[in-house]
Each structure stands twice: as C-alpha cells, then as structure tokens.
Amino acid sequence: MRIVVCIKQVGYIYHPAAIDLSTGHIDREKMVFMLNPYDEVAVEEGIKIKESFSDCELIMITAGSLETERALRYAFAMGGGRKDRMIRINYEGFDPWETSLVLAAVIRRLEFDLILCGKKAIDNNSSEVGTFIAELIDIPQVSGIVKLNLLPEARKAIVEKYLGKGDREEIECHLPALFTVEMGLNDPRYPSVPNRILAEKMEVEEIDPISLGFRIDREEGLTRVKKFSPPRPKTKKIFTPDSSLSPFERLYLVMSGGAMKKEGSNIFEGTVDQLAENIVKFLVQNKLLSKEGEK
C-alpha cells in the first residue's frame, strides 16, 4: 500500500509589528515557520497505518521553496523509514488552485492507494487544496474525518466525518481515495532524536513544475494576495451609570460592574437607625434571625 501525505509549512506571526501597515507586507524575521497542525495529524495517521499493515510506503509531499524542507523533514522524523520518500515541488504561491494543480500532477504519477491531507491550513483557512486534488485526479473524497478504518483486501475504507455538535456520519468508499483529517483524529507523536538524524540524512526529491509541462501564470490564478493586515481591534463598551439614579444606586452599579439587580433583592437607604431597622426586618423575614422569645 502506498500512502501519500500532503503537508504545508505555515508561518505563525508572533510579533504585533510583523505586518507593515504602510505596505501591507509581512516581516518574515518576526514569524515562526512550522508544520501545519492539521497536516501533522495527517502524517501521524499515515505512520499509524504503515505500522499496522506490512509492505506500506509513505510518501510526504509539499509545494514550496527550499526552506519548506524543514517542515518536510520534521514530518518524516515523526516516523518515516528508509523506504519512505520526501518530495518537494519547487512552486511557491498563495493560490490554492495552482497549488492543487502542481500537487495533483505529481501525485497522479505515484500509483497511490490513499491520500491524506489536513482539513485546512492555519494561515489561510481555505480548506480547498484537498478537495481540488481529489477532483483533478477523479477519486472519492471525504473531508473532516475523525476516524479511519482501512480494509485493504476489499479495497475499501470506512470513515467517520465530523458534522458538528457531536454528530458524526459514517461513510464507506472505495480506494484509492482522499481524506482530509480533523484535529481529533489522533494525537501526533514527537519526533525522536534518531529519527531527526535519519530525516536530515535522507534525500528530498525536488521536482520542477516546468518539467511536468505545467506553466505557472500568476495573472490567471484564482486567488491573489494583495496585502496583509492585522485584525481590527474590537472596541469595548464602557459602562457609565445612569445620572438619574441616586448616589447609592450609581455606586452599587459601579461596584457590581453594571449588573442588574436580581428580582426580589433589597437596597436599603436612610439614616443609620433606619438602615439597622430594615436589616433586622430582612433577617427576620428570611428566618435568619428569630424574634425575641422565639428559638
């Protein structure tokens, strides 16, 4: 069985000044690059399948520049072996459709049995690449799975798709197929030191899209990034007490954070003697204090 796992290296902005407001560009020095968490779950599932069935080959593939090999090697270090492969397509772009085209062009030549992808990437949240690849290769596809049961002899897979609010849908489909995975499918393992060393020694196969006859035209892409901008800050409503209320009521609202008093609550006002008399009556009425002569 040959399992293909599509991964992506994403950037996490850790500094508030990483985005230049005047140009709309991101300072890459103020970003942390890592393996997309959803793709990490897909890699873990591929490794678990390889450990459960004999004669399995795991192929991890990504599209990006040379620096994306860091995420590729990290994924391989999670559980890849000497018979497994890493492929990097020398294409760097933001358009999900073009990314899907180059990935599908390479995957189509691999004679695969199963494709695993993360449900989405945390940088753009498009959730499109996996679906596009399945459509281009013309294979069944189920998105957002939380459980996977393979039946290699029957060439089938039974998966559970997350529908929200605790509901799940069980789906059976024929292999080869493509599944995009949810975070709840498994708990990704941490790469060990020996696997890290092995991943650094393994060769990464580099493929140029032009060698596949693929022409990249930035003007024809379905998606073009014009600029980046931070989210707009949400203004908080400032509480101010109603000026028509008495000083005691205004102070009460300020101290309670503007909370409305519950029905049946009591606010006592008056002189010291009046306040004392009202408090005693309140305690007696609520049976917190007994009258004179009562136990």
Please state, rounded to an integer, the average pLDDT across all residues of the chain.
Answer: 85
Residue 183 is predicted with a pLDDT of 92
CATH number for region 2-220: 3.40.50.620
* Residues 219, 174: Cα–Cα separation, whole Å: 38
Look at 129 and 225; give whichever has higher pLDDT. Answer: 129
Q: What is the DSSP letter of 257?
A: T
Judging by beta carbons within 10 Å of its beta carbon (0-12, 13-18, 19+), is residue 214 exposed, middle or buried? middle
What are the sequence ranges of the domains in the chain? 2-220, 236-295
Out of 69-73, 132-136, 177-181, 271-275, which region has the weakest mean confidence (pLDDT)?
A: 271-275
pTM across the whole model: 0.74
3-state secondary structure 169-223: EEEEEECCEEEEECHHHCCCCCCCHHHHHHHHHCCEEEECHHHHCCCCCHHHCCC
Measured over the CA atoms of residue 47, residue 48, residue 51 and residue 52, the dihedral's sign is negative
Q: In this predicted model, what pLDDT tens digit does every residue of 194-223 receive, in sequence order?
A: 999 999 999 999 998 888 777 666 555 677
Among all chains, which residue has been given the structure tokens 């606010």? 267
Q: In this predicted model, what pLDDT tens digit does every residue of 133-163 receive, in sequence order?
A: 999 999 999 999 999 999 988 999 999 998 8
Over residues 98-124, the mean pLDDT reads 91
